[in-house]
Structure 1
Amino acid sequence: MKQVKETEKLLLFEEETGTTKKIYRQSKEDADAKKILIYSYVKNNIEYEFEGTTIKKIVVENSHEIPSFLGAFGYGFQEKSFNNYFKFNFTSAEIDKIVLSETKPSSKSGKSLILNYDDVESLLTSINQEQRACNDTKKILIKNLIVQAFPKINFDFQETNNNKDLILRNLNDKLIEKLTASEIQQIGDFYVKAARKFKAGHIIKKMTAGLLKNAQILTLHEIILKYEKLLKDNPAESEWQKFFDEYITLFDSRYVHKINYKNIATGLTKFPDLVLVDIYGYIDFYELKKSGTELIQYDKSHKTWYWSKDVSMVIAQASDYLQKAKENALSYSKAIKTETETETEEGLEVNIINPRAIIVIGTTSQLDTEKKKHHFKNLRESLKDIEFVLYDELLERLKNLLDTIKIDK
């Protein structure tokens, strides 16, 4: 074995045995002078040692030179993230070798992964572009902070992400699932501006329709996830009120306005949780109770089911809203119009002719027998102008609406 090269920290040795030549490295700081095999020349190939979980060797086919993307002193691929992927992400014995080839396409052969040179170099170029773009973005973000925090310093604000290839590479279906509705709108605004550059009106119309659908899908998807979590947690009524106050006009297209009823002189000492105006100007009162509220109770003496105490109380409450609304319809309408009037727009014209009260409460899991379902149905249908919506029924409506929008796409 003879020494063939020396660096600041390493000594390289060569050992020839018949037709095989092996290259070793030795750390100058290694007190035991241990030599580690880097690679071997075997026939027309180079067998390069690799310290992966299951991948132990990289074979460079038909070459007497180590490709530039492999470390000349061992340790695997030069690009760290690329190297670590093959080092740690293959954990079964199904793959134990990488073959680098200039002529063969990238494929799997037995226990070997064949990687074409061009594919590897193209991927490494993309990774380097990502890293450079990331570093550039970091510098721009730091500079923009200086611009905003210290305007007297003569720096210019600069937009980030000007790398076209980076942007196009990330425009895929997986990205859509991660975007919010407002982010989709931002992308849509950019697209419309870009399309105008080429005066492509037909493209703009098509894109606008597609963006609207995607925004609806993403918005509904977000709403459903939040709704499912609330349904699982069975939170206080105030949490449900926040949810409905924020989202109901998004998932129920009947409603176009929410009214802050507390600011309107109605003569009520207790107010509905939500007051909504539909597209025809009619008013609905919403009362929201906990999703775990007991719906019905059993009367042993009469062998029938009746409303639970909590449900009876909310029915009485809803009935009171409806009665007072009907009795004071004209004054309420006028008060609502005055309250909703702004400097530039007239107030809302509302109809308080046959207002409805919608009680959102409980779940169908309580109706676990046919008798319970039957009696609940009868009780539900016996109420005038009061509608019951169970929480999981509404969740099912949301999911059906999402499916419908997806199909329409």
Structure 2
Amino acid sequence: MKEQILETKKLLLFEEIHGDKKIVYRQHKEDERKEFVKIYEKRDKEYTFDFEGTTIKKIKLEGFREIPSIISDFGYGFQDNTLNNFFRYQFDDKRINTLVINENSESKRKDKTLVLNLKELEGLISNTNQEQRACNDTKRILIKNFLIEVFPQLAFDHKETNNNKQLILRNLNQKLVDQLTADDIEKIGSFYVDAAKKFKRADIVKRMSFGLQKNAQILTLQEIIKRYETLLKDNPSESAWQAFFDEYITLFDTRYAHKIDYKNIATGITKYPDLVLVDIYGYIDFYELKKSGMPLMKYDSSHKTWYWSKDVSMVISQASDYLQKSKENAVNYTKAIKEETETESEEGLDVNIINPRVIVVAGTTKQLNTQKKLNHFKNLRESLKDIEFILYDELLERLKNLLDSIKIK
């Protein structure tokens, strides 16, 4: 026989006793059919709630004298809406049909049941609520900051967003790392260094700063290598390689301290190399970038030997012309660079045009598929004066070796 035990504004609660088992029901006052809906069954310290989830059909409480606050007394599942909606509608693992909440047991899977520790579950709810509050706070701050920017006469103070430490720390994970660019890492690095200054011990600051620098180098090189491999696979136009080297050359080749915009410098020279770089000692190198799929050599069947292809011969001739013109115009060139690179606060660059080099990047080792071919290429390459010929995949190997050397430091 059902006996009424509680009345709320909208509900009536009843209980029914069967030996050592108690069953509690709810009844909606507006329900004309006066239907009884079972909330839970209770035996000793165990409660069993019905749950209308996609796969979760029961929630059991083990070892409780009273229903913990995270569960609705009226049979609607979890008090927290986010958790409730997840297990009701988004948990779709058909191998699980029951949740067990226990105050003492560790969280684990047991057959078709997930056992959840109460304290861990409460911690989860606290974190999700904190995340939601932080999200709402951020939205309000963004709105205020927008209004201040558009309407400065409004009486709002500009605020920075996301100053919740736990929220920030929770998001420092691999998923975030995968989304970061080199610029993002540099910004985080600046924050890291500022944070390190909080400590008075110089050894801690030095160690933290060194660790940051190393990790930033690793992440930046990994990004560069990934893009390089994609370009090498696609064999794009020369302009694509020029854009890549223009952006990254000073990052992966630490010999170079500056990149010169050659075409902005009036020297009387009409032909321009793809890149002009200044090393840490002030000496200039010219880069000429061709396609990675460009043919390297041709075979002379009458002499049974290999010689430079027409395309490579033209590049070498062009490189020789750069060297000759730069030497002939050395005085004007160095003066023009100094004037062009001068700023309001700093003097321009002093460069040296003494035995400049041209680095030609073209082709890959795939074309050197026999030992004889490789030997002839080596001889041809070493015969060049002041011109260094590098294959694209050789340069990729240099990048990978640089990455490995940084990792083991």
Shorter chain as denominator, the TM-score bin is: 0.7 to 0.9
Shift of residue 46, structure 1, vs aligned partner: 1.7
- State the alpha-carbon separation in 1 of the partners of residues 230 and 76 from structure 2: 47
Matched residue, 1:59: 60
Matched residue, 1:162: 163
Unaligned runs of 5+ in 2: none
Of 274-283 and 206-215, the range deviating more from structure 2: 206-215
* 2:154 aligned with 1:153: yes
- 1:379 aligned counterpart, secondary structure: helix
Cα deviations by residue, 1:349-383 (Å, 9 ceiling, x for unpaired): 22222211111222233334444433333332232
Pairs within 5 Å for 1:294-333: 294-333=295-334
Aligned length: 407
Cα deviations by residue, 1:385-405 (Å, 9 ceiling, x for unpaired): 222222222222222222222
Assess if the C-alpha contact under 8 Å between 1:39 and 1:46 holds in 2.
yes
- State the alpha-carbon separation in 2 of the partners of residues 35 and 363 from structure 1: 79
Pairs within 5 Å for 1:76-115: 76-83=77-84, 86=87, 88=90, 91=93, 93=95, 95-115=96-116
Assess if the C-alpha contact under 8 Å between 1:185 and 1:211 holds in 2.
no
TM-score, normalised relative to structure 2: 0.84
- State the alpha-carbon separation in 2 of the partners of residues 341 and 80 from structure 1: 62
TM-score, normalised relative to structure 1: 0.84
Shift of residue 99, structure 1, vs aligned partner: 1.6
- 2:354 aligned counterpart, secondary structure: strand
- State the alpha-carbon separation in 2 of the partners of residues 318 and 8 from structure 1: 90
Assess if the C-alpha contact under 8 Å between 2:106 and 2:116 holds in 1.
yes
Matched residue, 2:350: 349
Cα deviations by residue, 1:164-217 (Å, 9 ceiling, x for unpaired): 332344445665554444444444544554554564444323222222222222
- State the alpha-carbon separation in 2 of the partners of residues 406 and 51 from structure 1: 52
Q: Which amino acid aligns with 1:229?
A: T
Cα deviations by residue, 1:243-282 (Å, 9 ceiling, x for unpaired): 2112111111100111121133444322100010111222
- 1:305 aligned counterpart, secondary structure: strand
Matched residue, 1:253: 254
Shift of residue 142, structure 1, vs aligned partner: 0.6
Shift of residue 295, structure 1, vs aligned partner: 2.6
Assess if the C-alpha contact under 8 Å between 1:188 and 1:207 holds in 2.
no
Unaligned runs of 5+ in 1: none
Assess if the C-alpha contact under 8 Å between 2:196 and 2:208 holds in 1.
no
Of 140-149 and 203-212, the range deviating more from structure 2: 203-212
- State the alpha-carbon separation in 2 of the partners of residues 339 and 173 from structure 1: 43
Matched residue, 2:135: 134
- State the alpha-carbon separation in 2 of the partners of residues 364 and 332 from structure 1: 36
Q: Which amino acid aligns with 1:393?
A: E
Matched residue, 1:367: 368
Shift of residue 92, structure 1, vs aligned partner: 5.8
- 1:377 aligned counterpart, secondary structure: helix
Sequence identity of aligned pairs in percent? 66
- State the alpha-carbon separation in 2 of the partners of residues 28 and 362 from structure 1: 83
Assess if the C-alpha contact under 8 Å between 1:195 and 1:201 holds in 2.
no
- State the alpha-carbon separation in 1 of the partners of residues 35 and 235 from structure 2: 64
- Change beyond 3 A, Cα 1:364–1:31: farther
- State the alpha-carbon separation in 1 of the partners of residues 26 and 360 from structure 2: 77
Assess if the C-alpha contact under 8 Å between 2:3 and 2:16 holds in 1.
no
Of 325-334 and 83-92, the range deviating more from structure 2: 83-92
RMSD: 3.4
